Structure 1
Amino acid sequence: MCTGILTLNHDLFFMKKWLTLLFLSPIVGCWAQSVDLGRYQELPDPKPVNSASWTAVKTGQNVSFATADVRYAKHTAPDSKTLQKSWKAQAWKGEKVHTQAVIWSATPLSNVGLSWSDLNDAKGHKIPAGSVSAGFVRYVMTDGLSPTGDGCDERPPGKYDSSLVADPIDLVKVLDVPKHTTQPVWLSVSVPPTTPAGLYTGTLSVASSGAKPTVLTYSIDVQNRSLPAPKDWKFHLDLWQNPYSVARVHSVKVWSKEHWDLMRPYMKMLADAGQKSITATIINDPWRSQTEDVYGSMVQWTKKKDGTWAYDYTIFDQWVTYMMELGVDRFINCYSMIPWNLKFSYYDEAARKDTFIVAKTGTPEYEAHWRPMLTDFARHLKAKGWFEKTTIAMDERPMAAMQQALALIKSVDKDFRLSLAGLYHPELEQDLIDYCVATNQTVDKATMQRRRQAGFNTTYYTCCTERYPNTFTFSPPAEAAWISWHAASKGYDGYLRWAYNCWVKDPLRDSRFRTWPAGDTYIVYPGPRTSIRFERLIEGIQDYEKIRILKDEFRAKGQTDKAQQLEKALNTFEVSALANTPAATHLQPAKALLNSF
């Protein structure tokens, strides 16, 4: 879902193409179609084997460290220029670091398995093997941008060139590697916060049937600096959650006990990335059925026989409590008073049926529908102790519509909090505690600093509009980390992406969607499986935290030389620079500088 400049174009498109779904469909139960979450077969590669790349490859199992900046092609032998005999990383205490290794073979390999050791230093300290993980990177179908670089368009099958790309990190422990195949491996080390500083060495072993195990040695230089726990990160991460997608892929009824249990590891993984906002829907289908799994309302609206209204907050309360228990508790962002189709569903007690009205902002019908709800919602939130955390959230809409909605909200309770993702409107920003703007918008640092001091939040987002930086499945992996460096450069408090898990029909095998670039709708996979994109995004957030901590230290100690060095590096993170310089080329020297302090 792209907010901002292209929202109205989206409106016109969806008005023609995706008019309606039965509005109770996601509430009654799960969709019939589900996803095979166990072992699965990747789709055939549309690209032929690059035979020339395999001519010099020796027979049998080949294994090497590689780089996290490359999505290795499945049927092309890895470029030797990207391979490394060893891996050495620098890390703060509490930081997660990662790299990629590759396995490749001109002949079939069966029962390929991974194992790893503790990391030990020379003084008897260790990073336990339980803090290390390694997983096979699988291949998923992707597409690309249009020839003009546009991503916000209808995408029937075959419109754009498709290919397999490495992205999901699988849960399987053993995998067969066919001949003429490159099989990436993602290696992560989460340094425990109590680890003494020092140089730690460990091994990653790759074994397959009939082959001698290959042992790769690597080291982590743990610095005498500490990264806070993710719940204490200042970076404001807002990846919108879709609980309805979890129900569909697992074939369970929405809001059943099974659904709540299955969601936990997904939302825990998000919380561990530093997620700050809860995505809550207070109306049905706020984005006009644009996703594979339509968002239902977490509040049940009932018009009584006498014309008064009743609101059931049971699901809303359960969802908010659930996410807060996982540590996601900065904002409860409630969508939306201005849905794309201005359609508002409710149960009519007199008619004994579900129905809806269509009402524009500023009309008597709109006010009659929303004023009672907002009044009761404010009462309920205050009783729960959530009023200060809750925002009435919306996407970019025509200025008159936004001003009318804001006026109504404030007339009900002047202390209601508001959130907007869209263009930058100086005339609105003082009313918006949570304001997210597009990459092409400019918010001066003085305004952001004033907002920060007032407890307000200013972030930026990417969507289908941006060629770069982005987190499509075909985006260069380093762009996901680059995103947070750009936030640090411009003074933003964080980053928003509209979908954590709005999965397509077959998300493990095919990330393409009917309207936007592949991967636009989700960044993690069913399982739950993490991804190269998600891990690199976390990497950038950790860098943002390190930058923040170092800036505070340099300021407190009067270390202006170090502060200027860091600022000079940050000034290179301009979106326009990505037109000619890959994100990885920006990041490598900047990260080296960051870890030198």
Structure 2
Amino acid sequence: MKNGFLVACCLLTQLSMAQDVSLALQKKPDTNPAKLAEQWSKVPANTKVSFATSSKRFAQELPPEIKENNIWTASAWKGEKVHKQLIIWSKADLNTVTIEVSDLKNTKGGLIKKENISTGFLQYVMTDEFRNGCGYRKPQDFDSSKVADIINVDLKSIQVQKNTTQPVWVSIKVPQTVNAGTYSGTVTVNADKKYTLNVVLTVVDKTLPPPAEWTYRLDFWQHPFAIARVHKLEPWSDAHFATMRKYYTMLADAGQKIITTSIVNEPWGHQTYDDFPSLIKWTKKKDGTWTYDYTLFDKYVAFVMSCGINKQINCYSMVPWKIAFTYYDEAASKEAVFTQAIGTPAYNEFWATMLTDFTRHLKQKGWFGITTIAMDERPMPAMQSVIKLLKTIDTGWKVSLAGDYHAEIENDIYDYCVASNWKYPNDVLQKRKQQNKLSTWYTCCAEKYPNAFTFSPPDEMVWMGWYTAATGMDGYLRWAYNSWPKSPSTDSRFTAWPAGDTYQVYPGALSSVRFEKIIEGIQDFEKIQLLRKEYQSKQQTAQLSKLEAALKTFEIKDLAIESAEATVAKAKKLLNE
């Protein structure tokens, strides 16, 4: 996970040296009581309600600095999800606040039922700051504050204390079957009185396919043991699997394509708060032969596939950061650890036996063609040795790699994910597309921007989708979907790496501002691909040229000059024309 990426990530630290416009816009509030009281004294009414951009996080302690607006005007394709923030701020205690939504209707009898509209009170978690990025940290050494990130759709009402700002996340999922046109409805806030705000949604006569058909290659690494710990469940019990389903379905609905599996204990050297045990039980028999129990591996993979994530199985890993493979030694009646270095005869024998049996098993299950041996960045000789070994077992084995770009092994990597400071050579990228290989990118602890920390400006996550389209890559990888710290619902900080780095969603299968913005960027990516095809087939060169010109503004270095929010806002106008 992290250490495996650090070789590549540490090369990115020069990105953090430039003045970061995006983070400069996300100033932490001045919590001096006198200054806070002065700001609240300027609010003209006890309670105010307004729509606001989804591109900013609003401080809980301060009245929002926004132009008040009681109309949300939006455009969307059929099948697209769009969102907005609704802000409530009050100088008086509000004991019970609830939100109601109406159907959206048009003048021709069209209807978007209110079941397609969701509202979630935003909840605040502790965050910190970037500073040095990678490396273990002490909370007292970093400036910390509260930030709105959790979208709690399960809360039906909330109390708002005086001199407090309470954001609400409002989403509309446009049905694919609805007719194009303009639809109107309302959102009502019940607080000290009723506040009715208007929604005007223009549905464009274009259709976004369902997430299962999205081409974007999203890879958020899943962590089943974290779910068991947070929900106090016995790992791999029926209750554990039942609880995991909502999380994995939510991830599938974001377009996730890849199943994260561990075929050895702690493939990332226990860098996470929770254990990451092997899904395969390795046993060395008394006679020196080996057996491999795939029962849990099979059950887990089949379960994740049943949730809608079924394009690829990534197996971690033959090349963990720490070479220490745990197995049960029957002769000694205890666990043992194999520690011989990669490339040694002992290592090759140890893995050749397992891989031969694993290949047989995967072919029997019908999964061999979608399975890869996945690697984090390792020294070149080690990676070359592992690739060579795999090909001696079966030439059909595929390899996934996240790290720096290496021309020496590029041709051997099926799923290649490069650090954000790398770009594939144009000829290599085109060749990879022709060979149906995957070419993606990732961010980690090293990049101040773009990133998905809890303090990152929300539109950096949208920006990522545009950047993927602009570079011609296939998708984006990030650890991790749910490698939660000790108390993820209140504190997104971890003993190592910037706050929020280890997860994107919250216990209870609650989404976040970050996760919704990732989805927004993926939707934009899909729309860009569809528009490119349409403009090319219809020879609409002017429209295509405008779109391609907008995509050229998505360069990482430019985030030091213009915020992700500004860049995205200008480009988005081209998608709904």
Q: Is structure 2 residue 384 aligned with structure 1 residue 403?
A: yes
1:326 to 307, 310, 324: 307
Task: Tell me what 2:206 maps to.
Answer: 225
- Name which of 58, 61, 70 aligns with 1:85: 70
**2:175 aligned residue (181, 192, 202):** 192
Q: Does 1:531 align with 2:512?
A: yes
Q: Which one of the candidate residues 165, 170, 175 is aligned to 1:182?
A: 165
Distance (whole Å) between structure 2 residues aligned to residue 118 and residue 85 of structure 1: 17
Q: In structure 1, which of residues 553, 563, 577 is the aligned counterpart of residue 544 of structure 2?
A: 563
Q: Identity rate of aligned residues, in percent? A: 50
Do the aligned partners of 1:46 and 1:162 also contact (CA within 8 Å) in 2?
A: no
Which sits farther off after the overlay, 534-543 or 428-437? 428-437
Which residue is 1:67 aligned to? Answer: 53
Whichever residue aligns with residue 280 of structure 2, its letter is V
Secondary structure of 2:508's partner? coil
Q: Do 1:240 and 1:279's aligned partners in 2 also have CA atoms closer than 8 Å?
A: yes
Question: What's 2:346 paired with?
Answer: 365
Cα gap change, 1:5/1:529 in structure 2, threshold over 3 Å: closer, same or farther?
A: closer
* Deviation readout 1:4-34 (Å, 9 max, x if unpaired): 7624899xxxxxxxxxxxxxxxxxxxxxxxx
* Cα displacement (A) at 1:48: 4.3
Decide whether the 8 Å contact of 1:3 with 1:421 is kept in 2.
no
Partner Cα distance (1:445, 1:213) in 2: 57
Q: CA contact under 8 A between 2:3 and 2:321: conserved in structure 1?
A: no
Deviations 1:464-518 (A, max 9, x none): 0111000000000000110110000000100000100000000000000001000
In 2, Cα distance between the equivalents of 1:214 and 1:449?
54
- Structure 1 stretch displaced more, 178-187 or 56-65: 56-65
> Partners of 2:327 and 2:533 in 1: how far apart?
51
The 1-side partners of 2:351 and 2:180 are apart by 57
- How far the C-alpha of 1:555 sits from its partner, in A, is 1.2
Please state how far the C-alpha of 1:46 moved relative to its aligned partner.
9.4
CA displacement at 1:452 relative to structure 2: 1.7
The number of residue pairs the alignment matches comes to 556
The answer as to 2:6 corresponding to 1:6 is yes
* Structure-to-structure mapping, 1:119-138, within 5 angstroms: 119-138=104-123
Matched letter for residue 112 of structure 1: V
Q: Which amino acid aligns with 2:58?
A: Y
Give the letter aligned to residue 435 of structure 2.
A
Q: Is the counterpart of residue 151 in structure 1 residue 137 in structure 2?
A: no
Alignment match of 1:204 (pick from 187, 211, 232): 187
* Equivalent residues in 2 for 1:46-57, closer than 5 Å: 47-49=31-33, 50-57=36-43
Cα distance in 1, alignment partners of residues 78 and 263 from structure 2: 41
Residues 52-111 of structure 1 deviation map (CA, whole Å, 9 limit, x = unaligned): 221121343211000111100010000034x43311111000000001110000111111
Report the RMSD for the aligned CA atoms in angstroms.
Answer: 1.4
Alignment of 1:29-428 (within 5 A): 47-49=31-33, 50-81=36-67, 83-146=68-131, 150-170=132-152, 171-208=154-191, 211-428=192-409
Task: Report if the CA contact (8 A) 1:60-1:109 is conserved.
Answer: no
Q: Quick one: distance in 1 between partners of 2:496 and 2:506?
A: 19
Question: How far apart, in 2, do the equivalents of 1:404 and 1:392 lie?
Answer: 13
SS of corresponding position for 1:158: helix
Deviation (angstroms), 1:157: 2.1
2:9–2:445 Cα contact (<8 Å) kept: no
Alignment partners' CA distance in 1, 2:531 and 2:553: 18
Q: Does 1:575 align with 2:559?
A: no
Distance 2:200 2:127 in 1: 34
**CA gap 1:77/1:347 in 2 versus in 1, 3 angstroms:** same
**Where does residue 32 of structure 1 map in the other structure?**
none
Q: Distance in 2 between matches of 1:337 and 1:314?
A: 20
- TM-score between the two structures when normalised by the length of structure 1: 0.91
What is the letter of the counterpart of residue 571 of structure 1?
A: K
- Alignment check: 8 A CA contact 1:277 1:331 kept: yes
Structure 2 equivalent of residue 517 of structure 1: 498
Q: Contact 2:324–2:339 at 8 Å: present in 1 too?
A: yes
**SS, match of residue 471 in structure 1:** coil
* Whole-Å separation in 2 of the counterparts to 1:100 and 1:268: 25
What is the CA-CA distance between 1:523 and the residue it aligns to? 0.4
SS in 2 for 1:199: strand
CA distance, structure 2, for counterparts of residue 493 and residue 470 of structure 1:
18
Q: Name which of 431, 435, 442 aligns with 1:450.
A: 431
Shift of 1:426: 1.3
Return the alpha-carbon distance in structure 2 between the equivalents of residues 303 and 4 of structure 1: 28
The residue identity in structure 2 corresponding to 1:177 is V
Question: Alpha-carbon deviation of 1:559?
Answer: 1.4
Amino acid at match of 1:76: L
Provide TM-score, normalisation by structure 2. 0.95
- Contact kept in structure 2, 1:63 and 1:103, CA below 8 Å: yes
Matches within 5 A, 1:545-560: 545-560=526-541
Shift of 1:429: 1.3
Per-residue deviation, 1:126 = 0.7
CA deviation profile, 1:502-557 (whole Å, cap 9, x unmatched)? 00000000000001000000000001110000001000000000000000111111
Q: Which stretches in structure 1 are left out of the alignment for 5+ residues?
A: 11-44
Write the distance in 1 (CA, Å) between the matches of 2:285 and 2:4.
38
Q: C-alpha separation between the residues in 2 aligned to 1:570 and 1:4? A: 31
Relative to structure 1, the CA distance from residue 4 to residue 308 in structure 2 (aligned partners, 3 Å threshold; closer, same or farther) is closer
The separation in 2 between residues aligned to 1:563 and 1:539, in whole angstroms, is 21
